[in-house]
Structure 1
């Protein structure tokens, strides 16, 4: 929140502001109030942050008056991430598109939720046809497990045509070199 932003610009998220929540986040100008259990259970970063004792005179991080500010995610990305925990359809994530899964992967990576990141990658894998070069780029950016990257590299290596100029731009120098050397 910038010093010039009016406080009244901050709004509660319409879906992820629970009366019984005990953990507060501020993402951009949106307040979230959720359950700390998931964050302490699934993220080493938050487990450490939430278990730390505040200094004398400081409010505990994540309290109503000391919300944790997430600066590496948008409110929409964070809401999509929270959807993985609060989805009312339990095992139906068919409403998620590529952008939604990508946002979930990003938040899970940025804030150390490896199981959620893996879940979101599986969501992308199961439903969407994404070019191998695009998948490789995305998965490398967010440090996906090799079990997802290896088949994609093999597909690029074993196909007849060499990576196109567009694919080379997407893959970057290191990945393109790896593919080229393996093809020789």
Structure 2
């Protein structure tokens, strides 16, 4: 991943990572707080999120994100991030969410495998919204390693328009289930439910042709279900 190639990246010194919380005044009378961990004295851009200022390295944002490259270029002197008083403003994001994105860049040991599902979904959401393709790919790779319920995985991957071929294992599990709840059906949406039902019917028919006395879709081999699902969902 491109994030590992930067000479700038590395462990953040303790005295940089754990600054005490300081309250300052910006150009108006609004009081803002420096983030206790991600206000770095050697940072090159100030970013304002929900009343808190982060001071981080602009390099990561310009290298990884077209959204931020354009945003920094378009920002006027009142919001160019050169100082806390002119911090680049991000709306519609929580402090905890932005912390998770920054963790990708400032994770000192590159230990990605210990984070839970919701952590990576937050990173996937911000990486998609702010056009960080390498970070988005990282989030997808990590989600692939985690044990998600099939319905949750399908809903999440569909929301962020991820490669549907990654959902084949989840589709197989749904095809083999004897039934699903009404709530799961509503959450999946009618198009997905209809395609799963179609695949189940094909699988059941195939099992009957192979001599199963009371065939169900669960009797079909996984490799056969994969081919059925590829056809039903039009996957290459």
TM-score, reference length from structure 1: 0.81
1:47-126 correspondence to structure 2 within 5 Å: 47-52=69-74, 54=76, 58-59=77-78, 61-64=80-83, 65-90=85-110, 92-126=111-145
For residues 66 and 168 of structure 2, the distance between their equivalents in structure 1, rounded to whole angstroms, comes to 27
Q: How many residues matched?
A: 173
Unaligned segments of structure 1, at least 5 residues: 1-5
For residues 53 and 165 of structure 1, the distance between their equivalents in structure 2, rounded to whole angstroms, comes to 48
Partner of 1:39: 61
- Deviation (angstroms), 1:161: 2.6
- Deviation (angstroms), 1:153: 3.2
- The answer to whether residue 34 in structure 2 is matched with residue 17 in structure 1 is no
Q: State which structure, 1 or 2, has the greater radius of gyration over its C-alpha atoms.
A: 2
- Deviation (angstroms), 1:66: 2.8
Partner of 2:158: 140
Alpha carbons of structure 1 residues 72 and 110: separation in structure 2 relative to 1, 3 Å: farther
Alpha carbons of structure 1 residues 69 and 166: separation in structure 2 relative to 1, 3 Å: same
SS in 2 for 1:69: strand
For residues 112 and 69 of structure 1, the distance between their equivalents in structure 2, rounded to whole angstroms, comes to 17
Alpha carbons of structure 1 residues 137 and 179: separation in structure 2 relative to 1, 3 Å: same
Alpha carbons of structure 1 residues 36 and 145: separation in structure 2 relative to 1, 3 Å: farther
Check conservation: 1:136, 1:152, Cα contact below 8 A: yes
- The Cα RMSD (Å) is 2.4
Comparing 159-168 with 108-117, greater Cα deviation is found at 159-168
Larger relative CO (CA 8 A, sep 6+): 1 or 2?
1
